Structure 1
Amino acid sequence: MTQASDFPDKDALVAALMARIEALAARNEALVAENAALAGRVAELEARLGLPPKTPDNSSVPPSKGQKPTVSSEPKAKARPHRGAHRALHPNPSSKREVLATTCKSCGADVSGMAQIVCEEYDRVEIPRIEPDVTRVSLHGGVCPCCSKRFKAAPPVGMEPGSPFGPNLRAFVIYLRSVQAIPLARLRAVMADLFGLEISEGALVNILGASARPFSAGTERIKARLLAGTVIASDETGVRVGKANWWLWVFHHGDSAVFVADKHRSKAVVESFLGISRPDYWISDRYGGQMGWARREQQVCLAHLIRDVQYAIDAGEAVFAPSLKGLLKRACAIGRRRARLTDGTLKTYEADLDRRLDRIMALAPTHPAGAKLMKVIKKTRRHLFVFVRNRDLSATNNGSERALRPCAVYRKITNGFRSEWGAALYANIRSVVETARRRSIRAIDAIRLTLDGLPLIPSSA
């Protein structure tokens, strides 16, 4: 502490005390500013305490992260009995057995020579014992008596030297790994237990790696068909690749779907996918990376918007949000009935929706969450009802979410991919399998066709 004896000169003492006062004043101002910042932070946190939690019902939180209610585990009351059901007979059985009666069960008389009709018909379903079909190929040769050079027989077509595993076995490995999400160690055990085939994890990885080229070519064919159309819907989900967070995108419409694994979640991914192509219409949520790609109009997902409206209602908005929710649900109901409505009726409905929205936008929100929601509607209003008269568009982006759902299940089971090429291969396999599903082709058949270099013929072709 400064002592008066330290400053024999009064002027020096006064100067030291003034410097000390200035330092304390500066420190006091800094503390006042810090206190104001902390008070603002406390007010913000207290305001958040009054807001409802984010759930799958009022936000984009996935259903897996939602808390399910506790319900009684007591068995439900028995429902009223109904007519019995049975398994339908197979339309194309492998074989048939016509069994004729030889004796009458009532009196024991011989009825083998009598004319008989079918009294009962049923199927017996069985899976034959599965064992590896191993073919040993021996190429013979010798020394030519004419030129004295050695010769060797040419290998049979489809049994050339190299990998010992045939195309059907490769298709099963790809199916079990990429469609059923069986990890490599368990897949090795499955091959040994079900098929009696001992195969190493390294061999399984080699099978997957060798399939990269045909699946890349198959995906390019699907992509060309998708870009030739007028509508594209998109969405993305997270995926783990190595020690980094990546994104798995889906671009789809109709009978074609293409998946892309990329490090980024930005417009650059969409731009790289589209190249110079631009569809007339685009369906997505309101994420900025998926907006602005349509040459004509964009349709935003009303299901996402309805959940955001529900959050505003849960937060306390009692005027604007409830009216908007009713309008959006009415629009979705119109979209579900479009097949039964004429173009003139749809035009009338679209005008009616716009008029109703005008009246709702004139309402005054009663809560900050409602005011925030109104800003969102003002920004995206022209993208809300594009689907009403365009029958190729849907009111929601649920198609994209359904396409990504198997990918989310795969991520939860396997925890992602160790390498970038594995993520790219999975995206291409998923493109083929999802496209095949839309074209009424079984996944295993689609994998076989792709490995053979053949296209997936659409069901309408």
Structure 2
Amino acid sequence: MALILAQQAQIAALSARIVELEGRLGGPPRTPDNSSLPPSKGWKRNLPERPKTPRPGHAGVARALAEHPDRIIEAMLAACPHCQHALGPADLPDVHAYDPIELPPIRPVVTRINRHRGVCPCCQRRISAPAPEGFEPGSPFGPGLCALIIHLHATQAIGFQRLARLLAEAFGVRVSEGAIANILARAEAPLLAAAVPIAAAVRASPVVGSDETSARVGGQTWWQWVLLSSTAVCHLIADTRAAAVVTTFMAGARPQVWVADRYAGQLGHGAARQMCLAHLLRDATYAIEEGGTVFAPGFRLLLLRAMAIGKRRHRLKHSTLAQYRVDLDRRLDRLLSGPEPKPKAARRLFHAMRRDRDDLFRFVTRPDVPYTNNACERALRPSVIFRKVTNGFRAEWGAKVYAAAASVIATGRLYGLTALAAIRAALTGQAIIQQA
């Protein structure tokens, strides 16, 4: 009898589970338009063939001439090719200029250091000339070459084997895979040191955005976090997705506004929060596809209206923006005062907006607050590509080096530095943020 009762309870639990799963199957499919599914996993329809209509012509556009060409060749005519009349410079006033561009043979610059040694004729002690400054013994690879190797590995996602082959074939530098690993290991200390002021700049910012994505470290799933402001971008790779990562990083700092999606680990880090409207727009789209007919369509239109205001708020007066904010809140009140939606996704979104309604439209009256979290997603996109190409990191120190390099590169670009220039500045101890 006990066995029968246990089996009945198990059958009831499994039947409820079957009903739940069948309900999920009945819902609309998750797509990049109604969820956080990346565009690469979405279904792509075949585009219709374009009609073969004649294209109207337009004036051609030539490549701009270089401001400082390395050399100039003056092509002159000594005589007319038709009548052989002698010509001088005054007879050829017009010039047709164009710039052929070519790469010279790329070869490394090798400096031989001969440190002379001997025995002092006075004290009979062995003596040796000191190493020239900047050419101390140790690694034979200079900061320029090291910066190039880190740049190609971190930003172009080139693995060690292909990188060694590229250096040998394109630059004439033979570097083994082990030497590349040693270069990255030696770069850990200067890159981490360069990331310290970057992290401090993020903590001191009144508005901070954050997002996270998965990473692979040592065959395990870790998480890469990005925290950014208008002056700095900081990357972290940790073994957890918990809010403790952000709490530890902020070290007690509390920005005025925290911009993020609705993930629970992003809550409570700022005095106020601005939810990403792009995420909410996808949630509203899914709720409509699931069958929401009242709240979800109205909420989607309200989000589109708010985003349209955000795009042109820099041209509007503060008083006008304040009126827009009141109008948006009034429209939201009307939506939330209606009956509770029946579909599950719309009902969940309805209750979430009742709870977090104050975090929707803070950006309207604050021009420094973005209305989406797209800046964080764009900052994480190169790391996602790196993970897919290289399959992550073998050791934790490699993840730390990559996160520090990503912070240096992204912050350097805010100040007009190329990735190569930012990495070289970090390796040589130059400040990134102060090079505005």
Which residue of the partner structure matches residue 253 of structure 2?
277
Q: Greater Rg, structure 1 or structure 2?
A: 1
- Answering whether residue 371 of structure 2 is matched by residue 360 of structure 1, we say no
1:98 is displaced (CA, Å) by 4.0
1:328 is displaced (CA, Å) by 0.3
Which residue of the partner structure matches residue 373 of structure 1?
349
Taking structure 1 as the reference length, the TM-score comes to: 0.90
Question: Against the structure 1 CA distance between its residues 331 and 74, is the aligned structure 2 distance closer, same or farther, given a 3 Å change threshold?
Answer: closer
- Answering whether residue 394 of structure 2 is matched by residue 442 of structure 1, we say no
Q: Using the TM superposition, name which of 124-133 and 257-266 deviates more.
A: 124-133
In structure 1, distance between residues paired with 2:399 and 2:54: 48
Which residue of the partner structure matches residue 41 of structure 1?
17
1:59-78 alignment, distance < 5 Å: 59-72=35-48, 77=53
Which residue of the partner structure matches residue 306 of structure 1?
281
Question: Against the structure 1 CA distance between its residues 221 and 93, is the aligned structure 2 distance closer, same or farther, given a 3 Å change threshold?
Answer: farther
RMSD over aligned Cα atoms: 1.8
Which residue of the partner structure matches residue 103 of structure 1?
79
Which residue of the partner structure matches residue 123 of structure 1?
99
Question: Against the structure 1 CA distance between its residues 171 and 118, is the aligned structure 2 distance closer, same or farther, given a 3 Å change threshold?
Answer: farther
1:113 is displaced (CA, Å) by 4.3
CA contact (8 A) 1:255 1:458 kept: no
In structure 1, distance between residues paired with 2:379 and 2:31: 22
1:311 is displaced (CA, Å) by 0.5
Q: 2:234 aligns with which of 254, 258, 261?
A: 258
Mind listing any 5+ residue stretches in structure 2 that lack a counterpart? none
Residues 18-63 of structure 1: CA distance to partner in whole angstroms, max 9, x if unpaired? xxxxx3xx44443443333233223222222220111111011111
Question: Against the structure 1 CA distance between its residues 75 and 436, is the aligned structure 2 distance closer, same or farther, given a 3 Å change threshold?
Answer: farther
Question: Against the structure 1 CA distance between its residues 156 and 274, is the aligned structure 2 distance closer, same or farther, given a 3 Å change threshold?
Answer: same
CA contact (8 A) 2:232 2:433 kept: no
1:75 is displaced (CA, Å) by 7.8
Residues 108-155 of structure 1: CA distance to partner in whole angstroms, max 9, x if unpaired? 322224265453222121111111222221111211111111111111
CA contact (8 A) 2:274 2:371 kept: yes
Question: Against the structure 1 CA distance between its residues 415 and 361, is the aligned structure 2 distance closer, same or farther, given a 3 Å change threshold?
Answer: same
1:434 is displaced (CA, Å) by 0.7
- Answering whether residue 38 of structure 2 is matched by residue 80 of structure 1, we say no
In structure 2, distance between residues paired with 1:35 and 1:410: 46
Taking structure 2 as the reference length, the TM-score comes to: 0.95
Residues 253-306 of structure 1: CA distance to partner in whole angstroms, max 9, x if unpaired? 1131010111111111001111021111111111111111112x2101000011
CA contact (8 A) 2:321 2:365 kept: yes
CA contact (8 A) 2:201 2:231 kept: no
1:220-369 alignment, distance < 5 Å: 220-295=196-271, 297-364=272-339, 365-369=341-345
- Answering whether residue 126 of structure 2 is matched by residue 147 of structure 1, we say no
Q: Using the TM superposition, name which of 433-442 and 399-408 deviates more.
A: 433-442
Mind listing any 5+ residue stretches in structure 1 that lack a counterpart? 1-22
What is the percentage of aligned positions where both structures have the same residue? 45
Match of 1:151, SS state, is strand
